[in-house]
Structures are given as structure tokens and as C-alpha cells.
Structure 1
């Protein structure tokens, strides 16, 4: 077996060989063929020889790559190699993916004869979602699970597995408290899969349904609006060159439990809406190029008939101290990269601190300080944690450049301030 798989192959050639993914971002003005770009990148990677985890190359000696490629990245080694051993690029099974980002923002889908914006849609891969995948940190291997699920979905479709014998519905449900990254993860997985499957599909479509807008001011029309929305989605799915993702955010607003209707606490139209949604999902699941992504903050309010249709029901909870450390670590590295923080000491990752047994010395002192801040930040959502580095600077620094130790003190104060604000809000 050759060490380098067929270029761009989305599925591993052998269950015994780990596939490493190389994402090649093509310059927006480049018209070079993907096959030619891959040939030049393979030469580059053979010179690189050994990798110790994810890396990105954005400066090239090869004039062809300089003219046509923005960056070359080895990605998701934490998913593919849990033990983080050195990766021999010359002997590894590599899958190369060439892509160009669409720079247009979201468009709007409007339902005919109705004055409402029923959905936003993006062409993928999109600059709006660039970097989102790497910014998401979870304790559980959620990202790996979703990638594996999508790979199996594709494999079963390729092998023409009879869905009447083995059932899968192409539906993912992410549930948990607000601010934990559910919607961002849906956008990130869509972007990632469009890149991974760039040889199979010409482009991607990400359709974010506005669940609340589908409840007409004439409430009895809501079921019809759901059907009209999915008819428009069906037109997009009919293009076999398009990989389509449908996001239903806060799906409980569309699938309010039918038991409420039966108890007389909800009008009968709630049943019509649920039935319309289930019918449309059952129809489009027959197509190999669609994935339905849903989120919910109130899982108990979702109709069980919908829950049963979800192939994956993944809980997304608040981050643990370890995940919080990784989030803060990435934020501070970004501020050091841009010069907002003047680095006086290297920030160690959590694995390095574990190897040093969390013993404080000159090399670990600042990193251990960050770990203490992460420990006292437990209970804050990922959305809040990503805001705290900005709040720390805005409230406690207000200088164009600051030392790492001073910034760390400001971050600690920002965490304390966040919890105080929570307590004040609870008094109202």
C-alpha cells in the first residue's frame, strides 16, 4: 500500500492506517488546478519530514506556492493521534484538501408571498467561519465524534446501504445551556466538512433557519411556512454538486412537545408544525448530500418524535478548568502575537505543566498563575470566557502594550468582576 493516499480522498484507505489531513488554502485570485497545487505541496511536506502536532506554513520558497497558496496546515492531530507521537510525513497516509474561501457574507432566504426572512445562507467554505473550528475547546472529543459520524454517513451512502434495513436520519442534536458553543460548533463542522470533501462537492451551502420567524402572526399558518421553507431547501439539495447543511437553532421553538397540545396548554397548530418538520426531515434524509444540525437550550421541551430521529444527541456543557485554561491560553497567545501583550515568559500548555507536576519555578510561575485563574473561572460559559480578555484590557489596563504579568493580574480581576455582576443581577 502506498503511504500517500489518493489525493483528497475523504475516507481512510485502511482501518489500520491513520489518515492525516492537510488543508491547503488557495489564494482567492489563483486559478491553478487543485492537482497541480497538491503536487507542489507534497514536495514541500517531504522536506518538512517530521511533525509534532498541528502546524501551519504560510511562507514558501517555491514560487508556485507563493503565487497560489495562502497557507498549508496539518490539522486535527489531537483527534487523529491521541498519544501525540511524532508524525513522519513521508510515511504517513496523507489526505490533501485544496479550498478557496468565499468572501461574501450571508444572504437571506425569503418565503414567497410572505414578508419574512425565513433563513440566512452562506456559501462554504466562508471567511465568516474561518478559524472557528480551532477556537472551540471541549472536554469531551465532541469534534472528533461529529467528524466520525459524518464519515460514516458518507461511507454508508457510498456503499448504498439500505436505509430501510439500517436507519440513519442525517440529524444531529446538540443540547445544553446557553453560551457553550453549540451554534458555533454547527457552523464549524459544516466548514470543516466542506474543506474535507472539496474534491467530492464543488461548493457548500449553510442554511440557518430562523425558527422564530416561521411562527406566523397568523399562527395557524406556521405548518405551511415550515413546508414552504423546506421546499426551498429541497431546490438546493437537488444539486448533487452541493454539500448542504441545515441549521435549526433553538429547535424547541419548532418542536414544542406535543404533550402540551394534548394537555390543552398549546394550540393544535403546534402539532401541525411538529408534523410538518418531521415529514420534511423524513423526505430529505434520502439525499446523500445533506446534514441537519440542530441545537436546543431546553431539551425537555423538544418533541420526542424529533429526538428519536436524531442520530447523535450530544450534550455540550460548561467548560472544565482544563478547557478554560486552553481557552485563556489561546487568547493570551493571540494578544502576544499582535503585540498587545509583551511576552516576558513563555506560556506553557497544560500538558507541559502536567509533565512538570505543577511545581512552581521560574519557567512555570506565570503559567501556574493562569491555571489558578482558570480554576476560579469554573462555571462561566465559553462565550463569556472569550470576552474576558477584552474586558480585562478595557477595564483594568487601557494601554497599547502591557507586560504579561500585569495583564494576568487584570484578567484575574475581570473574572472576579464577572461573578460580582452575576450576583448583582440575581438581586434584582
Structure 2
């Protein structure tokens, strides 16, 4: 038995769009998307059938569910059923893979013409026999339009938030680029899936409470905002059979005070009325992000202490009241981030179901970040010739023994160890700085580039120490 939802990617005239969201998404934009996408329905695996509620699988044989994401080219006119057939044939030809695996080149014309990539995602690092698994295949086309601005005044460009229609090309690849050690990405996926499952089962929220609020906190540069965007993107793909489309609304809490100070309460209400228009369409999965939420709670505390005007506390209380109202809807997830955890008051913290700390990556995480950067530079032939680098798992399997095969990978491991304490943002910049400051030639060998990276790490640590000493 299957629960099938109509999709935005459909030519069916009965497909419902957010009829009250003209301020958010133009009619022409929706028409273009309707014409571009095809009907998407749940897809069976190689063997057996999968019962689905949204994207929650209930497999009577307790077989492992493997998620396969198929990125179809925006220029493709192929039917989804044809894409599914060719992807299943590809998976049957390569029925054993090792962990996460991605095809970007294909041995048949159809996939080459219509498909950008096929990826087995979110799996453990071990051999997987696809014939013994249930496959959940997610076919999607990226929306290539950039963000739009949500405005509140007809006669004035008063920016309230940015919003994207999901899945968005701008968010593509962020999920894979974020490296965490605690399984936080899987936990967040499971959290949202469970909220939807409980809602579908009509669980009484007065007896079992969940608020649909996530708080990610930690030092700057650790990828909290990027993780929120990546989570929304991933779920818009993963839950396409449950919801027609995804919508991501990003509110910068600083703009609430810098632009809304004189009429704060009224304008906050107007903003959430526009968000409510999206939520009213139950075919839409809506993500609302409040970045740096501590600025709201800090302002409330300062106002109560008499150091800020009373209008500030009206802004905060209005926002929190509106959040309490929209979180009652089953198709909304509220994502918040904070750089200064101690400034968040308990009233807000109590609203969050998940309070996840996001810290600097471990040595293994740093190694993975650097490895992905070096592979990209080799692909672009900035590092040339291409040379093999082992993963941390492969080095561990070898007992970190030094030989011709592992020599450069061990050098990279030493650089990763030295980099411990740097933020993810700093780590992603470091290969660029290494090339700019210490290479000074268009192309460079891997050995020479690793030397440059080592020098760049030393410079980053020195600069950080000098800044701390000045504080």
C-alpha cells in the first residue's frame, strides 16, 4: 500500500499552488516551474515493495533502506518513469558499492543526455549489496532561480526576509560539504521525519509535545546557517512524495531592529502573515530560519533592564508569539542559530525540541574537508598531475603505516592535526590562501601544495593568536 501525494513537478491541472502567495512567488515563476517538471511518484526498489507514509519506510523484512538521489538536468524532457527505469538498470549493473557513491559519467546515452548525477547518499562506510536493500529513489530538478526578497510595504522596498523555492541550485552540494562527527545531520533528518510521521498519525500534541523548533548553537564559522539550508534542501528532495514543494524563508534578526524599530509590532505581524500564506497550503513544506536568534533575546533582556527602548521588547515578544502560532501547523519547521548561547533566555530555549551544539571539526573532520578541497583543485587542474590521496578510513585500515601509497596522505593528516581548533569556514578558505600566498604559479604539484598549506596553517594560527592577545 502506498500513500501518494501529487507533486509540484506535475502537469496535472489539479496540482495546487499557494494561491495566496503572490507576494512571495510570482505567477509566471510558478508557471515556468510547472512546465519544467514532470510528475514524481514513489519508486520501488529492485526487490520487493516499500510501504510509504511521506518518505518514512515500513519494510516488513527489516531490509536496509538506501536513498538514491537522481539529479535530472534542467534541460531534460524525459519522463520520470523512463529516468527511473534507466537508473534502476544502472544500479543493477553496479549492485555492490562502498558507502556513499556518486555517478557523474554514464555508459549509456540516455543517462548522459538527461541526468546530471546519480548518488547513493547518507550511508555508512562499508560495502553495500544493493540487491539485498530497499531502494528509495528521489528524482529531482534544481530550481535555478535565485532568492527573492519578501517585502512588507507596497510603496517602499522594506526587506523582511529572503526566500527560496526548493530544491534550489544555490543550496546544491552544501549537505555533502558539511563534515560533523556526532551524526548530527542524520539526527536532524530523523527529527523532521518523526514530526511529520506523528502529525500523519494524528498524535495528540497535548499529550506528547513537540514544537517543530531546532536550535543550533556554537562558535561562529562552524556551518550552522549552512546546515539549516542544507537540511531544508535535503528534506525537500527526500519528502517530495509527501509535499508538493519546499519553501525556505530566512529572517535576519538584525534587520528587525535596524529597519522596523518605529512600527515593530505591526511589521512583525505583517511578515508572519506572509509566511502564513505559504503554510496555509498543506502541500508545502515550509522552513523558517531565524539566524543569530540571540540578538532577539539579548535585546529583550536589555530592554527589561532599562538599557534599550521598550519597542525592542515588543519586537521580541511579537516574534515569539508568531512562532508559537505557526508551529502548530504540521508542515512548518522553525530553524534557529546562535553564536552566543549564554545570551539566549530560557523562555526561548524551552521552545526548542533539539538544542544541538555545533563546534569546530575534529582532526578526522578537518582531514575530510581538506581532502575534498584537494580533490576539487585536482579536478580543476590547479594541482597537477592528479595523485591519489587515501581517506582517513583507509589510513586507519593500514595502521597509519608510511609507504609510497600513503606518504602524501599522512602529510595531509599532519596538517589536519595542526589545524585543530580552526573553524570550518577558515578551513575552507585555507587552500585558497595557500595558493595565493605561498604558491604564486598557475599550477602546482600536490607535494608543493601541501607544503604551502602547512605554511598557511601556521599563518592562520599566528594571526589568531595575535588577535586574541589584542583583546
Under TM normalisation by the shorter chain, which class is it? Answer: over 0.9
Deviation at 1:66, TM superposition (A): 3.2
CA contact (8 A) 2:304 2:313 kept: no
Is residue 2:165 matched to residue 1:123?
Answer: yes
Is residue 2:384 matched to residue 1:384?
Answer: no
SS state of the match for residue 341, structure 1? coil
The structure 1 residue matched to 2:312, chosen from 267, 270, 274, is 270
Match of 2:211 in 1: 169
Match of 1:81 in 2: none
Is residue 2:18 matched to residue 1:18?
Answer: no
The structure 2 residue matched to 1:346, chosen from 382, 388, 399, is 388
Match of 2:4 in 1: none
The structure 2 residue matched to 1:66, chosen from 83, 87, 112, is 112
Deviation at 1:259, TM superposition (A): 4.4
Deviation at 1:286, TM superposition (A): 2.2
Decide whether aligned partners of structure 1 residues 262 and 8 sit closer, same or farther in structure 2, where only a CA change above 3 A counts: closer
Match of 1:314 in 2: 356
TM-score, normalization by structure 2: 0.85
SS state of the match for residue 402, structure 1? coil
SS state of the match for residue 12, structure 1? strand
More displaced 10-residue stretch of structure 1: 234-243 or 136-145:
234-243
Match of 2:328 in 1: 286
Structure 2 CA distance for aligned equivalents of residues 218 and 133 of structure 1: 33
SS state of the match for residue 209, structure 1? strand
CA contact (8 A) 1:220 1:269 kept: yes
The structure 1 residue matched to 2:77, chosen from 31, 56, 71, is 31
* Structure 2: 5+ residue stretches without partners: 1-44
Is residue 2:198 matched to residue 1:156?
Answer: yes
More displaced 10-residue stretch of structure 1: 208-217 or 251-260:
251-260
SS state of the match for residue 111, structure 1? strand
CA contact (8 A) 1:124 1:205 kept: yes
Structure 1 CA distance for aligned equivalents of residues 374 and 443 of structure 2: 13
Deviation at 1:62, TM superposition (A): 4.0
Match of 2:264 in 1: 222
Match of 2:177 in 1: 135
Query: For each residue in 1:342-371, what CA deviation from the matched residue of structure 2 results, as whole angstroms up to 9, or x when unmatched?
Result: 246421111111112222222221111111
Structure 1 CA distance for aligned equivalents of residues 372 and 172 of structure 2: 16
Deviation at 1:257, TM superposition (A): 6.5
CA contact (8 A) 2:260 2:267 kept: no
Deviation at 1:9, TM superposition (A): 5.8
Deviation at 1:4, TM superposition (A): 4.9
**What does 1:411-426 align with in structure 2 at a 5 Å threshold?**
411-426=453-468
Deviation at 1:422, TM superposition (A): 2.1
Is residue 2:133 matched to residue 1:92?
Answer: yes
Query: For each residue in 1:257-290, what CA deviation from the matched residue of structure 2 results, as whole angstroms up to 9, or x when unmatched?
Result: 6444433334333332232122211211122221
More displaced 10-residue stretch of structure 1: 258-267 or 270-279:
258-267
More displaced 10-residue stretch of structure 1: 379-388 or 2-11:
2-11
SS state of the match for residue 116, structure 1? strand
Structure 2 CA distance for aligned equivalents of residues 31 and 289 of structure 1: 30
CA contact (8 A) 1:6 1:95 kept: no
Match of 2:147 in 1: 106
Structure 2 CA distance for aligned equivalents of residues 166 and 325 of structure 1: 41
TM-score, normalization by structure 1: 0.93
Match of 1:42 in 2: 88
Match of 1:77 in 2: 123
Match of 1:295 in 2: 337
Match of 1:243 in 2: 285
CA contact (8 A) 1:274 1:303 kept: no
* Structure 1: 5+ residue stretches without partners: 79-83
SS state of the match for residue 215, structure 1? helix
SS state of the match for residue 254, structure 1? helix
Total equivalences in the alignment: 423
Query: For each residue in 1:85-142, what CA deviation from the matched residue of structure 2 results, as whole angstroms up to 9, or x when unmatched?
Result: 3211122111010110011111101112664211111111111111110000012111
Structure 2 CA distance for aligned equivalents of residues 324 and 208 of structure 1: 28
More displaced 10-residue stretch of structure 1: 144-153 or 298-307:
298-307
Structure 2 CA distance for aligned equivalents of residues 306 and 158 of structure 1: 27
Match of 2:38 in 1: none
Structure 2 CA distance for aligned equivalents of residues 193 and 293 of structure 1: 13
Decide whether aligned partners of structure 1 residues 302 and 50 sit closer, same or farther in structure 2, where only a CA change above 3 A counts: same
SS state of the match for residue 188, structure 2? helix
Structure 1 segments, 4+ long, off by >4 Å, are 6-9
Structure 2 CA distance for aligned equivalents of residues 8 and 27 of structure 1: 28
Structure 2 CA distance for aligned equivalents of residues 373 and 25 of structure 1: 35
SS state of the match for residue 350, structure 2? helix
Structure 1 CA distance for aligned equivalents of residues 241 and 259 of structure 2: 44
More displaced 10-residue stretch of structure 1: 364-373 or 179-188:
364-373
